[in-house]
Amino acid sequence: MTELIACLSSGKGTWMEVNSIIRAEEWGKIFLVTNDFGRQNYKPVKEAELIVLDAGDSLSNSIEKIKKALDGKINGLEVALNISSGDGKEHTALLSALMQLGIGFRLVAFSENKIIEL
């Protein structure tokens, strides 16, 4: 089964899209890159591992935190990736971490009541 990695951070209404993606399929594992606000307030709709980033961290520290959290936990050659939520720094850190770990990804979104690949 494919693993899902999604940003779950800032952006009005974006948590609803992430929840829709989570519900729409059976995922091998779910990893959510979030911030302290997300850690405190997000109520998971399925079991998920939170990777909590600190906005004050440098980009390189955020990359290392994501790499450490994902290393050895991805079973396939690629993951489904959603970056509808979050900001540029979080997206950059996540993309960089995936590339440095050699993990391929396909971008996914939720549209018209189904997951679409972008």
Report which residue type is found at 1.
Answer: M
Ranges of residues in the chain whose predicted pLDDT is under 50: none
Contact by Cβ (8 Å): 118, 91: no
Residue spans of the domains in the chain: they are: 34-117
Continuous H helices in 7-106 = 14-24, 36-41, 59-70, 88-101
Query: What pLDDT does 8 receive?
Result: 95
pTM of the model: 0.95
